Amino acid sequence: MKDKGLLIVLSGPSGVGKGTVRKAIFSEEDTNFEYSISMTTRLPREGEVNGVDYFFKSREEFESLIQQEKLLEYAEYVGNYYGTPVDYVRETLDSGKDVFLEIEVQGAQQVRKKFPDGLFIFLAPPSLSELENRIVTRGTESEDLIRNRMDEARKELEMMNLYDYVVENDKIELAVERIKAIVVAEHCRRERVQGRYIKMLEAGK
Ligand code: 5GP
């Protein structure tokens, strides 16, 4: 029997560039995980294609999917619903392929409860480390501005708690490289590998 695939969740604060990093990952030919296309009630933006970027749904359709428990998670974000189709995720994982979700933080929290052994990656804004520099070098910025940034940073640090890895989005190519390296490492984790050898030994006696 084939091993199940890995559920990879990329999340992080809004505006951090999750979508851009995800698109960069899937534009590379050697990416061998499957992107789970989300459902949303927001209108398509120019150039977006139904079934490629999202499955675009009406509010009624979306609410009926919630009722039928067809969503692994969902959240309301800036007045629109976003959610992950559960059947696609389960079927793809069962076929042994890795599934990649790019979702906002409330959704990631729900997924963590249902898939505690998923791989949760937090995409962090470079502003966190910039902030560190500014504080160390005491730049020319006003106290208020620094305080606002500190509050934001505090919130972001709190959000990080749920995740296994933190990737700073300083440069898209670097963030992509780090995410791919994390996935490779995760597949080599002892807890994930050992069961296969145990089964092999049992079969061979
Ligand atoms: P946008 O409207 O810019 O495409 O996406 C807005 C936000 O929704 C982004 O933070 C994106 O990561 C998030 N998002 C996209 N799909 C899903 C999903 O299926 N579930 C959740 N919870 N968030 C999603």
Helix axes 172-187, 190-204, angle to 10 degrees: 30
pLDDT at residue number 174: 97
The answer to whether residue 161 sits within a structural domain is yes
The answer to whether residue 193 sits within a structural domain is yes
CATH classification of the domain holding 143: 3.40.50.300
Structure-model confidence comparison of residues 67 and 30, the more confident one: 67
pLDDT at residue number 137: 66
| Rounded Cα gap, residues 161 and 10, in angstroms | 14
Residue type, 190: R
Q: What is the pLDDT of residues 82-139, one digit of tens each?
A: 999 999 999 999 999 999 999 999 999 999 999 999 999 999 988 766 666 666 666 6
The answer to whether residue 196 sits within a structural domain is yes
| Rounded Cα gap, residues 117 and 140, in angstroms | 45
The answer to whether residue 54 sits within a structural domain is no
Angstrom CA distances, 158 to 11, 82, 95, 105, stand at 14, 23, 35, 11
The answer to whether residue 162 sits within a structural domain is yes
pLDDT at residue number 151: 83
Ligand 1 binding pocket (C-beta < 6 A) is 14, 18-19, 38, 42, 73, 75, 77, 82-84, 102-104, 107
Rounded distance from Cα 73 to ligand 1 centre (Å): 11
> What are phi and psi for residue 33, nearest 5 degrees?
-120, 160
Angstrom CA distances, 16 to 104, 112, 114, stand at 11, 20, 25
Angstrom CA distances, 113 to 16, 36, 54, 81, 107, stand at 24, 18, 24, 20, 10
| Rounded Cα gap, residues 70 and 39, in angstroms | 11
Counting the structural domains of the chain, the total is 1
Domain of 131 in residue numbering reads as: 7-36+98-203
Would you list which residues are annotated within the binding site? 12-19
